[in-house]
């Protein structure tokens, strides 16, 4: 069992505004401090209605193109992974998110604005602690030629490979440890990416109306539409960002060696569910072994 670490929240409330990548409309996101053990909770404002949607695996309702949580009805908040990657990096376990749209603002397409915003708000260390997730055996999920594995490790690290049908994204791979410093400088600034032909098709359907070169890396048939990249391998770094943000839905710090090949939101969430299933089983077994029996075996045979 790894050493428990202190829970954290933000010191002051902050407001972030940006464009919704699909709606193209301005979204207001407010972050507020929360008491220990509150967890991460969205409050979606729809007119006069205020809908509570906790950030938990049970509330994930869609993983196509982005990770979406919902209340089991028609109320949803999508594209939460970029915000959660920043939240995880800074160790925030308890926070309230108030939002006036069904999508978290895309900002510049990365987690950097969220990371900078949370740091500017300050971080408050709480008295209560949380046990980091630790696994004792490899856990994996597979979907055809796509897979995602988590191996036991005392630190968080990743080996990620992508292989898109594009001359610049064939066989791209990246391996790194993922401590707070490396995440902040090498992963969180990596922007989301897409293919020009797909963007045009989405916009024809009324989607991706907020997408632009200001918030995405856009690939043409043989190159980039952008004038420059933040990293030579920015696309695979963004896939790591998404993975960290998706696994943050587990609601606890986690450690392990993640090995991914052509994964995405669906596999990320599937792995998170497998991890929590094993962790819960292990922790229940440890708790059970420490219980004091209510009666002896001798008494039970009478």
Kindly list the catalytic residues: 265
DSSP state of 222: S
User: Over the Cα atoms of the chain, what is R_g?
Assistant: 20
Q: Which helix (H) or strand (E) holds 175?
A: strand 172-177
| 8 and 90 Cβ atoms separated by less than 8 Å | yes
Distance CA 43, CA 201 (A): 32
| Bridge partners, 99 (sequence order) | 29, 44
Distance CA 68, CA 79 (A): 6
Angle among Cα 288, 292, 294 to the nearest 5 degrees reads: 110
81's tokens: 């992974």
Residue stretches of the annotated binding site for Zn(2+): 82, 238, 242
- CA quadruple 188, 189, 195, 200: dihedral positive or negative? positive
DSSP state of 25: S
276's tokens: 């929590």
Q: Compute the half-sphere exposure of residue 230: CA atoms within 13 Å on the CB side of its CA.
A: 23
SS3 of the chain: helix, strand, coil, percent, to 5: 30, 30, 40
219's tokens: 């690939």
Task: Return the biggest CA–CA distance within the chain.
Answer: 82
Task: Return the exposure string of 24-36: e unless at least 16 CB atoms fall within 10 Å of the residue's CB, then b.
Answer: eeebebbbbbbeb
């Amino acid at each position: 069992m790894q050493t428990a670490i202190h829970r954290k929240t933000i010191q002051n409330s902050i407001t972030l505004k940006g464009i919704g990548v699909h709606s193209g409309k301005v979204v207001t996101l407010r972050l507020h401090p929360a008491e220990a053990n509150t967890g991460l909770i969205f409050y979606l404002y729809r007119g006069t209605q205020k809908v509570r949607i906790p950030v938990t695996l049970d509330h994930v309702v869609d993983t196509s193109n982005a990770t979406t949580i919902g209340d089991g009805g028609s109320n949803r908040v999508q594209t939460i992974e970029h915000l959660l990657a920043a939240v995880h990096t800074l160790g925030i376990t308890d926070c309230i998110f108030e939002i006036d749209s069904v999508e978290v603002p895309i900002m510049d397409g990365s987690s950097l604005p969220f990371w900078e915003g949370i740091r500017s708000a300050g971080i408050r260390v709480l008295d209560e602690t949380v046990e980091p997730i630790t696994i004792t055996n490899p856990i994996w999920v597979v979907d055809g030629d796509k897979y995602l594995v988590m191996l036991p490790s005392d630190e968080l690290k990743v080996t990620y490979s992508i292989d898109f049908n594009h001359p610049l994204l064939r066989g791209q791979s990246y391996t790194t440890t993922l401590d707070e410093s490396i995440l902040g400088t090498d992963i969180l600034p990596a922007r989301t990416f897409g293919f020009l032909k797909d963007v045009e098709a989405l916009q024809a359907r009324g989607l991706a109306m907020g997408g632009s070169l200001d918030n995405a890396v856009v690939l043409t048939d043989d190159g980039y539409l952008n004038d420059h990249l933040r990293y030579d391998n920015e696309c695979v770094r963004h896939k790591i960002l998404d993975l960290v943000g998706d696994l943050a839905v587990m609601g606890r710090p986690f450690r392990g060696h993640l090995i991914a090949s052509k994964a995405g939101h669906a596999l990320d969430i599937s792995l998170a569910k497998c991890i929590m299933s094993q962790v819960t089983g292990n922790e229940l077994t440890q708790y059970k072994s420490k219980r004091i029996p209510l009666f002896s075996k001798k008494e039970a045979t009478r």
